[in-house]
Amino acid sequence: MASRRSEPALHRPYVAVAATAGLVILLIAMGAPSSRPGTAAAHRAQAPAAAPRPASGAASKSSAEARAHAPAVAPADDEASAEDRDLLAWVEWKYRYLLDDARLDPASRKQLVRLLMARERLVRDPDAANLRDQLADIERQLDALLGAADREHYRSLRESEAEQHRLGDYGGGIDNLAPLDDDQIKKLLAAKLRRKAIFERELGDARLDQPVLSADDRARAFTIVNAALDRYRDAFLRDAAAIIDDQQMILLTSYETTEMERERQRLQIAINAK
């Protein structure tokens, strides 16, 4: 890009001494094996292996064509392939709190699982861009099946893999020092996803979806990103303080500060590339 002036660096947030000390403790904890089997919460927070993506390549039918004729429900247990079983395990992990809390009768709950499997299968398909109509149809079926509160819960979980993995890393790392219970994990995830949604709306003002930004636009984007990240981190930690104890909070503060700095650097690279 011609005559680009030097960009302002994203500023580093202030990190409390206690949080820095907590990071050292957390790194030690994450590297040390637990002397006990671990809490149920820690186990539930660990994701199963994601269902494998279908292989691409020449075939008698394209993947998109095959999906067009595939049923949008899971096969019976005795007919399930290894891939179907892996996909079911993934769905039951990713959407576990929705499945626990959804106000549905047993038959409707089974239909919910089938629709979630169909949805996750489509988004993993190499031809996902050509399957938007099928995905939209599944979303309509989910909207019709779920009540308003459950629908909102589902939507918050659709793109939650990164946050769930990070929460699992944090929970597993502190299990031998200050283990989380399942209710804490559930509340932390809900708070994280709520604050993430606000953060993503604020990022819209940075225009990061534009292929090219002027020098002034990049400087403006830096300012927006810094402020949004700081608000995201601080708001989530305020929420977390009402959920977890002081020791867990010190460890979470250092973990979140480190992860937010990684996100800050990632976004700085993305802005500089424009």
The pTM (predicted TM-score) of the whole model is: 0.71
- Digit-by-digit pLDDT tens for the chain (274 residues) are 433 444 444 444 433 434 444 444 444 344 444 333 344 444 444 566 554 443 333 333 333 333 333 334 445 555 668 889 999 999 999 999 999 999 999 999 999 999 999 999 999 887 777 888 999 999 999 999 999 999 999 999 999 999 999 999 999 999 989 999 999 999 999 999 999 999 999 998 899 889 999 999 999 999 999 999 999 999 999 999 999 999 999 999 999 999 999 999 999 999 999 8
Say how far apart CA 215 and CA 192 lie, in whole Å. Answer: 33
- The domain locations on the chain are 17-37+175-272, 63-157
